[in-house]
């Protein structure tokens, strides 16, 4: 084969493979951004649950540390969201950054007030809950925009499991707010709903995910572990007015979310 023919073949090969390589790389970058944003949303929700626990458990310092840890996670994930696929996503990313900074200031002011005087007024707490709801709505809008402008869709099982994690965190926020008697219950990313409705939705969606035929034996075992923990707190969530157990719900919701997130990472690795 002449050197000219070889050069033509190589250039043709590059012309075919480079766009494919570029598309694969872009999809991987978009998927990673969406994962970071999802993790940011979970941590942002958790800051509110941790604050309610700090309030309701009379300034227990473990929850003050959890608030700091959750804030640090949000900041780390936000810093990692640097490359946006389009102008719409860039604008929303900037709004999210500004909104988070304002929310963080309000949160830290309330934590300081609790530490110094042992209580907070109800209105600033309600305002914080409303800002958290707005933060979740804005981050959901960005999540959708990244997929739209990045020409990428999160696989169904991965997305379904992520929604379960967010729903579990929302339930934990709701329960902690009731236990703290702050009179403000907000479900992140949506309107306030009865906790019974959220519990029923979680149980139904978990059963659907758990029974999906694409689950490997290992994934089924992982779902069994999550379901066992869920059943342990399900009745307490439904009968929240009878016997409040905020420490138990906080502890188990965290482990349930950790379990679902591990499952979700396996779905994502298998492109499910």
- Three-state SS annotation for the chain: CCHHHHHHHHHHHHHHHHHHHHHHHHHHHHHHHHHHHHHHHHHHHHHHHHHHHHHHCCCCHHHHHHHHHHHHHHHHHHHHCCCCCCHHHHHHHHHHHHHHHHHHHHHHHHHHHHHHHCCCCHHHHHHHHHHHHHHHHHHHHHHHHHHHHCCCCCCHHHHHHHHHHHHHHHHHHHHHHHHHCCCCCCCCCCCCCCHHHHHHHHHHHHHHHHCCCCCCHHHHHHHHHHHHHHHHHHHHHHCCCCCCCHHHHHHHHHHHHHHHHHHHHHHHHCCC
> For position 190, what pLDDT does the model report?
39
Contact 131, 10 (CB under 8 A): no
> For position 27, what pLDDT does the model report?
83
pLDDT in tens, 24-63: 677 888 999 999 999 999 999 999 999 999 998 877 899 9
Q: How far apart are CA 229 and CA 60, in angstroms?
A: 24
N-terminal to C-terminal alpha carbon distance within the chain = 45
- Cα–Cα distances in Å, from 190 out to 73, 98, 111, 138, 207? 22, 20, 25, 11, 23
pLDDT in tens, 163-177: 999 999 999 999 999
> For position 183, what pLDDT does the model report?
46
Percentage of the chain modeled with pLDDT above 70: 87
Is residue 206 predicted with pLDDT exceeding 80?
yes
> For position 189, what pLDDT does the model report?
37
Q: What is the mean pLDDT of the chain?
A: 90
pLDDT in tens, 85-142: 999 999 999 999 999 999 999 999 999 999 998 888 889 999 999 999 999 999 999 9
Confidence of residue 185 (pLDDT cuts 50, 70, 90): very low
3-state per-residue secondary structure call for 173-192: HHHHHHHHCCCCCCCCCCCC
Q: How far apart are CA 153 and CA 142, in angstroms?
A: 13
> For position 26, what pLDDT does the model report?
77
C-alpha angle with apex 168: 75 to 98, nearest 5 degrees? 25
Neighbours of 149 (CB within 10 A): 16
Is residue 19 predicted with pLDDT exceeding 70?
no
pTM metric for this prediction:
0.88
pLDDT in tens, 54-101: 998 877 899 999 999 999 999 999 999 998 999 999 999 999 999 999
Confidence of residue 16 (pLDDT cuts 50, 70, 90): low
**What residues does each domain of the chain span?**
3-269
């Amino acid at each position: 084969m002449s050197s000219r023919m070889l050069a033509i073949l190589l250039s043709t090969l590059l012309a075919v493979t480079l766009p494919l390589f570029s598309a694969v790389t872009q999809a991987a970058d978009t998927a990673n951004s969406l994962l970071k944003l999802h993790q940011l949303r979970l941590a942002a929700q958790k800051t509110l649950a941790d604050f309610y626990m700090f309030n309701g458990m009379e300034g227990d310092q473990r929850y003050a540390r959890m608030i700091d840890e959750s804030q640090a996670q949000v900041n780390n994930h936000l810093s990692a969201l640097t490359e946006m696929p389009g102008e719409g996503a860039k604008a929303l990313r900037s709004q999210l950054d500004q909104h988070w900074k304002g929310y963080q200031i309000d949160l830290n002011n309330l934590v300081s007030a609790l530490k110094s005087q042992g209580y907070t007024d109800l209105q600033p707490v309600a305002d914080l809950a409303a800002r958290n709801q707005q933060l979740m709505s804005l981050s959901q809008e960005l999540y959708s925009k990244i997929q739209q402008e990045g020409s990428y869709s999160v696989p169904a099982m991965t997305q379904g499991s992520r929604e379960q994690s967010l729903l579990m965190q929302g339930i934990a926020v709701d329960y902690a707010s009731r236990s703290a008697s702050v009179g403000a219950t907000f479900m992140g990313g949506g309107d306030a709903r009865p906790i019974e409705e959220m519990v029923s939705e979680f149980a139904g969606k978990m059963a659907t995910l758990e029974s999906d035929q694409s689950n490997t034996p290992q994934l089924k075992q992982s779902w069994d572990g999550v379901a066992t923990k869920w059943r342990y707190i399900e009745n307490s969530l439904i009968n929240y007015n009878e016997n409040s157990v905020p420490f138990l719900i906080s502890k188990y919701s965290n482990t349930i979310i950790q379990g679902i997130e591990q499952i979700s990472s396996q779905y994502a690795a298998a492109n499910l």
